[in-house]
Amino acid sequence: MRSDRSLNPATEMLLALVRNALWAEPLAVDIFSHATAPQWAQVVRLASRGGVTALAFEGVLQLPEALRPPRNLLLGWGVNAQRLAERYCRQEATVGKLAAQLNERGVRTLVLKGLGTSLYYPRPHLRECGDIDVWLFGQWEEGNRFACENGWELDEHSEKHSTFVFENILVENHRTLLDEALYTMDRRLDRRLVTLLQQTPCRETVLEGCSVYFPPADFDALFLIRHAAMHFASGISLRHLADWACFLRAQGGRIDRDAFLRCLKEERLERFAGALTACACLWLGLPQTHAPMPIAPHRKDARRMFPVLLSEKKTCQSRQPLAVLGFKTRRFVSEQWRYRMVYGRFSFPYRVLLSVKSHWKRPDTIFSTTYPPKKK
């Protein structure tokens, strides 16, 4: 892939490392030959912020020793990458144990996002995972009873899911697949996704001696796009782009493209999906043959979107209520273009309505700098 001179050196280095880890793209010597220690430190920060620490480190290992970062930085980076790989293995085992215990109660386990998405990667353990998201094929309440009977604290603050801790990892037990209590789009998409699960066989694997299920391609095509769109305003990262690129590379040929594109158009998600796909092709090296739509019409949007994938999420440094409210108001206005890309030209009044609705349900979030608010 040709060098992109519109990028700063650290960003260009990071993207080259990620492309190497994903597709074994050869590393161009000229990108790294004049790298300085501060630039390498910036690469590490960008990788951490973007959720691609382990991926980028895998790329570093393919560099000749003379082109690698300073030894102390390399060692620290390697330690973090190893911890992430170990966490992945723990999470994989934990999902198997959870599914086995739920299976004893006659409950099947479908894994969403994280671990399921990692299976699209050439090396799944390089995909950073956080919580475990599960959908129990409509048996959400049975999952809650399972947690309560084991004496685990059950948090039901969200209408979308409940949470509990299993084997020291947070589990989100989804009542709904999307946030249908807040978004009318999600109510429609949720019904469509459930129908897909009913009509299409799920992918199945065995962990800890128990069957664990993962969504079919048509499901994840819609689910991953909607999930990324939700994060676009609140904290999207390079990892979301890598997820989409790896999914298209691994499963794009199994998608019913006509149905997928028709759904995107109906829900006005085609602009966002096109921009995200263009980003995957332009900067992560996804071959355009795997794109479900032509990327040429979306290049302009992609060039506006891409810096957001690399930027640090803005936070309010003050805890004073008026300062927090002022910060949130300024952010609300300045990031309006992102919502317009997802929801269309009527997005501002719709967004105001959603914000009022959300804060009405959770008034403790009005002056909070985190969501959900931290327990005191």
Please state at what angle helix 217-234 crosses helix 257-266, rounded to 10 degrees.
30
Contact, 224 vs 211, CB < 8 A? no
Q: What pLDDT digit, counting tens, does each position of 290-334 carry?
A: 999 999 999 999 999 999 898 756 565 566 666 666 656 666 655
DSSP conformational letter for 288? G
For position 203, what pLDDT does the model report?
A: 93
Q: CA 80, CA 85: separation in Å to the nearest integer?
A: 9
Q: CA 54, CA 124: separation in Å to the nearest integer?
A: 11
For position 232, what pLDDT does the model report?
A: 82
Q: Cα–Cα distances in Å, from 272 out to 151, 235, 269, 324?
A: 43, 15, 5, 29
Q: What pLDDT digit, counting tens, does each position of 98-152 carry?
A: 999 999 999 999 999 989 999 999 999 999 988 999 999 999 999 999 999 998 9
Task: Please say if the pLDDT value at position 338 is more than 90.
Answer: no
Q: What pLDDT digit, counting tens, does each position of 66-91 carry?
A: 999 999 999 999 999 999 999 999 99
Q: CA 340, CA 352: separation in Å to the nearest integer?
A: 13
Contact, 4 vs 13, CB < 8 A? no
> Into which CATH architecture does domain 90-182+202-215 fall?
2-Layer Sandwich (3.30)
The mean predicted confidence, pLDDT, of the chain is: 87
DSSP conformational letter for 155? B
Q: What pLDDT digit, counting tens, does each position of 141-188 carry?
A: 999 999 999 989 888 888 888 999 999 999 999 999 998 777 788 899
Q: What pLDDT digit, counting tens, does each position of 356-373 carry?
A: 666 556 665 555 655 444
For position 17, what pLDDT does the model report?
A: 98
In sequence order, the 6+-apart residues with CB closer than 8 A to the CB of 292 are 221, 248, 252, 255, 257, 260, 261, 273, 277
Tokens of 249: 């590379």
Q: Which helix (H) or strand (E) holds 133?
A: strand 132-135
Calculate the CA dihedral of residues 86, 92, 98, 100 and round it to 10 degrees: -130
Kindly report the pTM of this predicted structure: 0.86
Torsions phi, psi for 335 (to 5 deg): -100, 15
User: Residue ranges of the domains in the chain?
Assistant: 1-69, 90-182+202-215, 216-313, 321-365
